[in-house]
Amino acid sequence: MTADAAYGQEWRFRRMLEEARVGYVLAVPKSQQVPSFGRIDHVLAGAPDEAWERISCGAGSKGPRVYDWAAARLPAVAGFDGDDPAHHRWVLARRSLARPNEVAYYLAYAPADTTVTELVRVAGARWATEECFQAAKNECGLDQYEVRRYVGWYRHITLAMLAHTFLAAMAARALERGDEETLPPAPFPSQWQRSDGSWTLFVPHPGPQREQPVPSPGRTGVAGTRLSPATVTTNAERAPVE
């Protein structure tokens, strides 16, 4: 599980997840207290240079989101974790490459065999969730509600998320169809011809065209075929000569 600092700083929330054995990577403010060590920013400020690793936490709109990360495992909590804990607690710091003074902090709780790369991946998954909610607000009015009861709020949120899911599925299907589409075949043979190991351009010559009869309107508006001038007979020619 991952969440922002509004949830990460609440120790009751963290303890509830730990009791349920649910792993988490939660953002916390820099003033967050780490038991037995003090503020989390002071703890990670002492990290040696070799403790920082450059890791991507996921793909963004402009490519991979790469930061410098430092992580340290915390000692087990006596009386809660037991003698052989299956989960460990961590402190993490994320430092911007362009602005090294911008550092974000996290508390983590994960199975004992979890790597730092996996913790970083979970921390980066929060952006995808936030982008999803922001898109639902912009496209489906997720936050455009005025209700007084929980039932009304629940119905609005459910319908908005359902509409957002439908739009996301339609967009994905359109992308799949776009990948499957191919260019229509050329109406004429290609001008590019390969001969003796080289390419040559040829000018296509149109074939002979057959004359088509010229349609002309007949009786009751039905199209007929215009006869040649030699076979046309006028009323004057049909009249008897006196």
Residue 238 CA to residue 242 CA, distance in Å, equals: 13
Q: What is the pLDDT of residues 97-127, one digit of tens each?
A: 999 999 999 999 999 999 999 999 999 888 7
10 Å Cβ neighbour count for 56? 16
Domain-embedded: residue 154: yes
Same domain, 156 and 73: no
Domain-embedded: residue 161: yes
Which pLDDT value is given to residue 209?
A: 55
Domain-embedded: residue 117: yes
Instruction: Decide if 32 contacts 108 (C-beta within 8 A).
Output: no
Same domain, 24 and 71: yes
CB-count burial class (<10 Å; 0-12, 13-18, 19+) for 48: exposed
The last residue of one of the domains, among 99, 124, 149, is: 124
Beta-bridge partners for 52: 70
Same domain, 116 and 8: yes
From residue 91, give the alpha-carbon distance in Å to each of 32, 94, 108, 116.
11, 10, 6, 10
Domain-embedded: residue 163: yes
Domain-embedded: residue 99: yes
Domain-embedded: residue 132: no
Q: Domain containing 73: what range?
A: 2-124
Q: What is the pLDDT of residues 66-91, one digit of tens each?
A: 999 999 999 888 778 877 888 999 99
Domain-embedded: residue 204: no
Which pLDDT value is given to residue 208?
A: 57
Number of domains present in the structure of the chain: 2
Domain-embedded: residue 105: yes
Round to the nearest angstrom and report the end-to-end CA distance of the chain.
Answer: 111
